[in-house]
Structure 1
Amino acid sequence: MSLKLAVFDVDGTLVDSRGPILQALTEGAKAVGLEPPPYEEARHIVGLSLVEALQHLRPEADAALIDAYAHEYKQAFLRFHADPDFREILYPGAEATLLRLKAEGWLIGMATGKSRRGVNRVLDVFGWRDLFDATYCGDDGPSKPHPFMVTENMRVLGVDAAQTLMIGDASFDMRMAREARAYAIGVSWGFHTVEELDAAGAHQIVHDFNELDGALNAFEARAVA
């Protein structure tokens, strides 16, 4: 059987985290005396590892202030998850696609700017520990768009670039995939626009999980031909 690896981003791709991320950025900024970012500003940095994202967001802040902002951002998420009414929302079709891929023998990887604690929380909340064969995050090495997370998924799972695709909502994901020589599929329902994904080198852009399923099937047909 030919190997096939689908590497997924999380925020903006599988999980609709736009509200919680903006709220955490807002609460964190207020806690350290910085101007809270509007959504249009915040959406451009989602996907980077946290410290790098905050440095891009507030370049005028020194390292100590950025560290404090990162701490307050994490504390905000801890408060969210302590609330019994808090729910992280999957995009419609996300879990069905993951389950189908697993049933059909795909390898499934993760490449996310989340911390390792954030990855573990997602895996536990959605019961995905048996779905993902490898997970790489912002704590493991260079931030997106460096190809590290994709190439490490390929390395540990024994898959080459021709058998690998990356699915993400951000230009960082597309550039990361291109650098790793993997096939780059952009999704239009997350943080970055279709125009931004296209400019970053997406091989293909899809608009819902049904369309993504078709793209995955087409990739599989090419990979095993």
Structure 2
Amino acid sequence: MSLRLAVFDVDGTLIDSRSSIFRAAVEAAHASNIDPPTYDQVRAIVGVSLFDALAMMRPDLDNETIAAYTHEFQQAFLRFHADPDFSEDLYLDAEETLRALKAEGWLIGMATGNSRRGVTRTVAKHGWDDLFDVTFCADDGPSKPHPHMLQRNLDALGVATHEAVMIGDASHDMKMARSACVRAVGVSWGFHTVEELQLAGAHDIVHDFTELKALLNDFNPEVLPEAKRASY
């Protein structure tokens, strides 16, 4: 009997962190004495591990400055989470969809550009210990769009590439899935546009969790996705 694995990105896919990530990027820039980024600059790099993401956004800066910017970004998020009034909402029906998939026998994995500390905090906050079979993040190896993080999900659960679906809001997620020969499902409600997801190789694009659940209901692990690999 075939297995079914749904691997989820977090920021922009399950959690609406658009405002907080942009705010952290701006506050960290001010603390690092560099020009603050625009929202479009920030949204383009979300999903990539933090140091690599900031280096991608600001190729004009040296490694020492990027390291300082990374530190200030992390400190900003620590301040946010220390504030009892701070919240990042789950997208509508995210929780219900995860729990429905679990009840139907799906394996559920995570592939996120967050740190392990961030993953632990998120899982604890939302009570997801019983939902995710495995979680892999930026601390576990090469950053998206390298396929390493997704491959770790597959290997840990003994799942073949054609038995898995990668679900994310960023082109980095789609390229990672393509590189791993896994079906790439883009969601339109996060950081990247539908056009960007299409250009990155998304097999499917959904516009809400109801549509995502319907797509996964029809998922046939015996039908191999197109084997085209994307560069990373």
What is the TM-score with the length of structure 2 in the denominator?
0.95
Does the 8 Å CA contact 2:11/2:17 hold for their aligned counterparts? yes
Question: Is 2:110 the counterpart of 1:96?
Answer: no
1:224 CA drift (Å): 5.8
Determine helix, strand or coil for the equivalent of 2:86: coil
Alignment RMSD (CA, Å): 0.9
Q: Which residue of 1 aligns with 2:205?
A: 205
Q: Which residue of 2 aligns with 1:146?
A: 146
In 2: Cα distance, 1:125 partner to 1:38 partner:
29
Q: Which residue of 2 aligns with 1:168?
A: 168
In 1: Cα distance, 2:19 partner to 2:88 partner:
10
In 1: Cα distance, 2:145 partner to 2:215 partner:
23
In 2: Cα distance, 1:36 partner to 1:124 partner:
32
User: What amino acid maps onto 1:156 in structure 2?
Assistant: A
Does the 8 Å CA contact 2:113/2:143 hold for their aligned counterparts? yes
Among the aligned pairs, what percent are the same residue?
Answer: 62
Q: Which residue of 2 aligns with 1:135?
A: 135
User: What amino acid maps onto 1:223 in structure 2?
Assistant: P
In 2: Cα distance, 1:184 partner to 1:135 partner:
18
Determine helix, strand or coil for the equivalent of 1:90: coil
In 2: Cα distance, 1:218 partner to 1:148 partner:
27
Question: Is 2:121 the counterpart of 1:121?
Answer: yes
Structure 2 residues not aligned, in runs of 5+? 224-232
Q: Which residue of 2 aligns with 1:43?
A: 43
In 2: Cα distance, 1:142 partner to 1:15 partner:
23
Determine helix, strand or coil for the equivalent of 1:139: helix
Structure 1 residues not aligned, in runs of 5+? none
State the Cα deviation string for residues 7-65 of structure 1 (Å, max 9, x = none). 00000000000010000000100001111111111100000000000001111111111
Q: Which residue of 2 aligns with 1:223?
A: 221
In 1: Cα distance, 2:168 partner to 2:30 partner:
30
Does the 8 Å CA contact 2:162/2:222 hold for their aligned counterparts? no
Does the 8 Å CA contact 2:141/2:149 hold for their aligned counterparts? yes
Q: Which residue of 1 aligns with 2:229?
A: none
In 1: Cα distance, 2:195 partner to 2:13 partner:
17
1:183 CA drift (Å): 0.4
Q: Which residue of 1 aligns with 2:227?
A: none
**Runs of 4+ that moved beyond 2 A:** none
Determine helix, strand or coil for the equivalent of 2:96: helix
User: What amino acid maps onto 2:221 in structure 1?
Assistant: A
How many residue pairs end up in the alignment?
Answer: 223
1:136 CA drift (Å): 0.6
In 2: Cα distance, 1:163 partner to 1:41 partner:
35
1:2 CA drift (Å): 2.4
State the Cα deviation string for residues 94-141 of structure 1 (Å, max 9, x = none). 000100011111100000000000101110110001100011101110
Q: Which residue of 1 aligns with 2:228?
A: none
